[in-house]
Structure 1
Amino acid sequence: MKRLLIYSHDTFGLGNIRRIMNIATYLHRAIPDISILIVTGSPMIQSFRIPKGIDYIKLPCLSRTARDGYSAKYLDSTIGDVIRLRSDLILSAVLNFKPDVMLVDKKPYGVKHELRETLNLVKGYLPKTRTILLLRDILDAPATTTKVWEDNAYFEAVNSVYDLVLVLGTPEIFDPRAEYGFPVSTAEKVEFCGYIEPQSLVRDRDTIRAELHIERDERLILVTPGGGEDGNALVRTYIQALQHMPVGAHVRSLIVTGPEMSEPQRNLLHQSALRFPSVKTLDFTNDLPSYMNASDLVVSMGGYNTVCEILSLKKRAIIVPRVRPVEEQWIRAERMARLGLLTTIHPDSLTPQDLLRTVLMELESDQSLRPTLDLTALPTLTSHVSMLLDDTYEPVPLEHLSR
């Protein structure tokens, strides 16, 4: 039985843990005789259906307070105490699970360097354990990311403790080796996987439209700000734009506010939407891909998972990305818009009038003329993990390390 441990960076929203669960589930199905342990602080992990062969250790939750600042989400403890607790739990998990491969998400040393002790010990105690750093397509603006990596000695970490760096993107959209100034020794470890094609089961388009009572001559717009924690402005602006929708436009709207939107904001948006009989609102759905498949246009923020879902279903999209505290979504949206994959509006320029104008334009565009996105990340990642799993580990007795 091969063993894979996945460390999930997990301090904001639903996107990260969804991506990790997609990866873990695919790997479990694709690789025979593999046991997968996920180590995460995401409070949403318990809401996923976990197949046999995958389990998780839940770390105390963190909240992101600024660009790279953190605090305890629920515990009445200092961030230092919580990081020490998380670090000890991670170390214990690795020592006892003894993974053949460790897959670390985003931060080479983990949040606040909580992985540093574990990674150093792995190199001594489990020298056959292979380590992979997993990066999404874009981290943040180049100047910001380069400074963070230099200040935290991440380039040195990649050189000393990682065997491979897998990027869930393509160099045509964003090449971190060039954009972030990777040294040659770091760049040589980088492999591009493409983007993730979601594995969600999608219900029939006609079935969904019938459930929503959408007539044949009506077009459906899905509005989704992802988890919703910072999606109030997008949904509010869209509802305001509906006041100016041309008579006879034959447009229906489904707004999914997201489970992490605050209750006061959600209630206010629901009340505002009641003025429009053509609008249906939901707090949350576990069947969002099916609604997306049934739609004619998607208006959303620019998270990695959402964009992959939209483009895998070949949907028209208007992306209003998050730009603070990091610029990842804006860079992704702008680069993809430049290639003709989608349309984007900077949130600082978002007005009801501009949004409506863009909506009407997109409804008349020909989606079949748009280019396609490389969505081969899961099989490509699986191939890399499988190759590293071919090496078996030979743990060194702990007492030898203290001599």
Structure 2
Amino acid sequence: MRLMVYSHDAFGLGNIRRMLAICEHLLSEINNLSILLISGSPMLQGFRLPPGLDYIKLPCLNRGEIGKVSVKYLGTDVNETVKLRSDLILSAAVNFKPDLLMVDKKPYGLKNELQETIHYLNNSLPQTKLVLLLRDILDTPEKTVLEWQSQSYYEAVEKFYDRVLVVGMPEVFDVCRKYQFPTVIAHKTSYCGYIRRKAGSKSAELIRKELTISAEERLILVTPGGGQDGYNLIDTYLAGLDFFSKEGQFKIKSLVLCGPEMCASRRKSLFEKADNYPQVEMREFTDDLMSYIAAADAVVAMGGYNTVCEILSARKPATIVPRFKPSKEQLMRAARISRLGLCKMIHPQYLTPDTLANSLLSQLSFDRLTPKIQLDLNALPRISHYIGQLLSLKEQKSKVFYITSSHSESSNLVAALQ
């Protein structure tokens, strides 16, 4: 069976990391599956890919901090680049002939670049199943409903998609209700829970040895995800290290991952500031973040979906400082899981070296939160179940179609011979 996965990836690493985790699990659970991933992520080649998965890299687009889409590397305008991406996606569908297309977040893709492919599949490969994957929170209800109305997303999901899978819980955010899904779409929608991240490739003991952390030291991991807008978080953390020294309660060792999408000048500035703190190790990126989260005593992070899932999977105390523009997604997620007692949150407008250091000190002092909810982290097996069902249904219909067609062709052949 052939699965084609679309992930537009115009900002950060979140979408591609989530889709790779899903693809890897599907390959482990569904026999004889081949997956072709279509992505615009500039970091796709930096991840280890499992057997059975290959990809087509689209020219990069960038959403930026204000939400305006631009071309990241090529000297072409946006419309020209979107047309190129659209043609590549369509060509892939025509030649790969997927049994199922899984689309991340946008029913028609970024700037509607998926529209031609969806119409082609509907007209020429009607047996192909379509699945829309939505994270727990897209943006504010007002902004999301307006976008779905103006882009005809409600109509697209009703007409073309067989199922909508939400990697979240209605107890955290009720997507169907908040985003005003019509009854037809609500009936297609299944909440899968959050994605549990599997353990990293290295043990916590090995990581702490690698970082030369003694038994009396505490390790704080700082990660702003892709890092494109992570400069202020890291800069504030470094400024708060003096507060730790004055307190003298803990010996702190810090590992800071700037993120591969932070601009070179800002990364250079942070590395230079970190030179003043010998107990800080600066790195750009790791494709094994779970190993470092598992080894940490506390985590400082932004509020991206994947990072939150990793922190909660590892059950680590964390202070979340979410992004609040151009989308409110991270802010909404962090506020909700904070109210549910799953992490601490500092609104970025109130982020100072002292507030961040105090939050971490309380967590290192085992001032642990009491969760008000048991978070469901079983999204991956549920996604595999739903995808397996659709592929099985498609295979059965294909066999019926083949038998019917073969019988018809045989009858025609007999008639011609007579």
TM over 0.5: yes
Once residues 369 and 334 of structure 2 are traced to their aligned partners in structure 1, the CA distance between those partners, rounded to angstroms, is 19
Q: Which residue of 1 aligns with 2:16?
A: 17
Aligned to 1:382: 384
Partner of 2:340: 339
Pick closer, same or farther for the CA change 1:201–1:243 going to 2, 3 Å: closer
Tell me how far apart the structure 1 counterparts of residues 3 and 294 of structure 2 sit (CA, whole Å). 33
Higher Cα Rg: structure 1 or 2?
2
Instruction: Name the one with the larger helix percent.
Output: 2
Mapped partners of 1:141, 1:330: distance in 2: 10
2:80 alignment partner, SS class: helix
Q: Which residue matches 1:125?
A: 124
Cα drift, residue 172 of structure 1 = 0.7
What's the counterpart of residue 47 of structure 2? 48
3-state SS, counterpart of residue 243 of structure 2: coil
1:343 positional shift: 0.5
Correspondence 1:307-386 to 2 at 5 A: 307-367=308-368, 369-370=370-371, 372-386=374-388
Per-residue deviation, 1:179: 1.1
CA-to-partner distance for each residue in 1:217-256, whole Å, 9 max, x for gaps?
Answer: 2211111111111100000101111112212422222111
Shift of residue 65 of structure 1? 4.2
Cα RMSD after superposing both structures: 1.8
1:400 corresponds to which residue?
Answer: none
Give the whole-Å Cα distance in 2 for the aligned partners of 1:308 and 1:208.
Answer: 21
How far apart are the structure 1 equivalents of 2:67 and 2:283? Answer: 32
**Stretch deviating more after TM superposition (231-240 or 355-364):** 355-364
Compute the displacement of 1:358 (Å): 1.1
Q: Per-residue displacement from partner, 1:23-61 (whole Å, max 9, x unpaired)?
A: 111111110011111111112122222233211111111
Amino acid at match of 2:285: F
Most deviating of 228-237 and 207-216: 207-216
Q: Is the 8 A contact 2:47 2:287 kept in 1?
A: no
Give the TM-score of the pair, scaled to structure 1.
0.94
Cα distance, 1:142 vs. partner?
Answer: 1.1
- Give the Cα–Cα distance (whole angstroms) in 2 for the partners of residues 232 and 214 of structure 1: 25
Instruction: Give the counterpart letter for 1:84 in structure 2.
Output: K
Is the contact between residue 341 and residue 372 of structure 1 (CA under 8 Å) also seen in structure 2?
no
Q: Please tell me whether the aligned partners of residues 202 and 293 of structure 1 are also in contact (alpha carbons under 8 angstroms).
A: no
Could you tell me which runs of 5 or more consecutive residues in structure 2 were left unpaired when the two chains were aligned.
406-418
User: What's the % identity of the aligned pairs?
Assistant: 49
Structure 1 residue 150: Cα displacement:
0.7
The answer as to whether partners of 1:7 and 1:38 remain within 8 angstroms in 2 is yes
Residue of structure 1 in register with 2:297 after alignment = 296
- Please state how far the C-alpha of 1:68 moved relative to its aligned partner: 5.0
Question: In structure 2, the residue corresponding to 1:243 is in which secondary structure?
Answer: helix
Any gaps of 5 or more consecutive residues in structure 1?
398-403
Deviation at 1:260, TM superposition (A): 1.5
Partner residue, 1:401: none
Bigger drift between 267-276 and 347-356 goes to 267-276
Residue matched to 2:281: 280
Tell me, yes or no, if the aligned pair for 2:46 and 2:287 is still in contact at 8 Å: no
Alignment correspondent of 2:105: 106
Alignment of 1:3-402 (within 5 A): 3-65=2-64, 69-245=68-244, 246-367=247-368, 369-370=370-371, 372-390=374-392, 391-392=394-395, 393=398
CA distance, structure 2, for counterparts of residue 52 and residue 211 of structure 1: 29
Taking the aligned partners of 1:277 and 1:84, their CA distance within structure 2 comes to 49
Separation of aligned partners in 2, 1:77 and 1:276:
43
1:311 CA drift (Å): 0.6
Extract structure 1 runs of 4+ deviating beyond 6 A.
Answer: none
